[in-house]
Each structure stands twice: as structure tokens, then as C-alpha cells.
Amino acid sequence: MKILVTGANGQLGQDVVLVGQQKGHQMLGYTRQELDITNQAQCESVILREKPDAIIHCAAYTAVDAAETDEDGAYLVNAVGTRNVSVAAEKVGAKVCYISTDYVFDGQSSDAYREYDNTNPQTVYGKSKRAGEQLTQGLSSRFFIVRTSWVYGAHGNNFVKTMLKLGAEKPSLQVVHDQVGSPTYTVDLAKFLLDLVATEKYGIYHASNSGSCSWFEFAQAIFEEAGLSPELLPCTTEQFPRPAPRPKNSVMAHLSIRTNGLQDLRPWREALREYIDNR
């Protein structure tokens, strides 16, 4: 397949391009400098020229706290940019795979969120990503919306890298224990996305490594796998106030993966072990 990737320099985008090349696809990785999704004319020009079979739309405004005071910036990228990609994709008959987030939910459920549960984003970031979902659904006739959570990988900054650095430098650390979710390794997510866009199984999907944990348990696992032993102390969300509220529960059920007969992602601890062994 000929697959165009937006945000190809980002944490997920880089692995989507690499994994796609390994799978034998023709990967067209576009960075923000090469394809500014907020520029409709440029979007149209690039996509009409390349005529991809599918677009994996990784470009996004992901600065959760900054978005609280930069509403226009978040919506410009996550909503307007996504509209531009969807409109151009439709003109060449390309499938669109939009990467979304657990932040479209309010995080208050006691159960794992299913794909068709009502959304209720509580942050500007979450609301702008939900707007991107709605525009993708409204403008593309062949779309996949893939919500993921707690993403980490070899590229960019993430929780695992931060913990490895702090765990090696500090004797004691506090990590939040009252927020739960599912860590997601970019390589595993990239493999899933590439398998998904090769199908006609359109719709909304939740994709993360299987299982769940709290941030505290995630940090414990990181230190165990890396052979580090700082003192780890649990703390509450209230002890670490942030401009944008964090979801208490980010766990998402993989109902669509199961009902569409697709291969689920492996357990999060297994993926973490591979990431740490290969770094």
C-alpha cells in the first residue's frame, strides 16, 4: 500500500513510518515542515499529488496543559487540520486513520470505556481532539478513528524516559497512584494501525497494550525492568495540581478489536520489557 503519514517526525509518526517500511509498504512520511496540516491549500496540493491509498494522521497538538490557555492553537491543529486532511483524502479516495485519545472521555467511569460510549471531554485538548473525530466522521467516507493512551516509545519525551532519568538520578520519587490507564508502546500501536488500514473494517477503535495499571504501578514496573531502585512513594492527583485535569480512569475496552476479529495488542508489561531491553 501507499501510505502517507502526517506528523512523521513525532513520537508515533516515526515508528509508523519505520514499521510500515519493514512491512513492505510505500511510506510517505511528512513532517510539519513539509506538510502543515493547518494550511488547506498545502494539504490539498500534497495529497492530490501523492494520491495515497491511506493516510495515517499522526500530526496533532498534544500539549495538554498548554492547550488550556491556547484554545485557538489546539483547535487549529486538531480540528481545522484534521478537516483539511479529511477533505483532501476524500478527493483522492484515500482511507483516513485519525489518532485520538482517552481524553475524549471524562475519566469518571468505574468501568473501561467502550468505543461507542458517550464522550465528555473535560479539557481543551480533549475537546479539540473530539472535534477532530467529528470532522473525520463527517467528511471522510472511509475512516478509522483510533483512540489510544499513555503512549511511549524511542522518539520524543514520555513518562518512561522521564522515570528512567529520574530513577537514575534521585533517591526518592513521588508518583500519582489514583489515575489508572493502559500504557501503549508506539511500535505495537504502529503495527496495529498498519494492519487496520489494510482492511475495510471502518469505525472507531480503542487500541493500547492490554491490561491496565496506575501511574505508580507503571513507574514500579519501569524501575523493576531497568534494574533501578529509588524509593517510590504514592501520592494523589491533588498533590500534583496541573492546569488541565487528568482523567482518573483512562482504561478503554477493546470491543471493536474483538468484534472485528483483529489481533489485540500484547500485555503492557511485555511491551515495556522489550522497550527497555532495546533502548
Query: How are strands ordered across the β-sheet holding 203-206?
Result: 26-30, 2-6, 54-57, 95-101, 143-148, 203-206
Q: Which residue, 220, 228, 224, is CA-closest to 177?
A: 220
Q: 125 catalytic, yes or no?
A: yes
Distance CA 208, CA 253 (A): 9
Return the residue matching grid coordinates 503492557: 268
| β-pair type (180-181, 213-214) | antiparallel
Q: Which of 125, 152, 185, 202 is the catalytic position?
A: 125
Please choose, from the candidates 55, 6, 3, the residue with its C-alpha nearest in 3D space to the C-alpha of residue 26.
3
- Cα separation, 269 vs 91, whole angstroms: 42
What sign results for the dihedral spanned by CA atoms 210, 212, 216, 221?
A: negative
Q: Which residues does the annotation mark as catalytic? A: 125
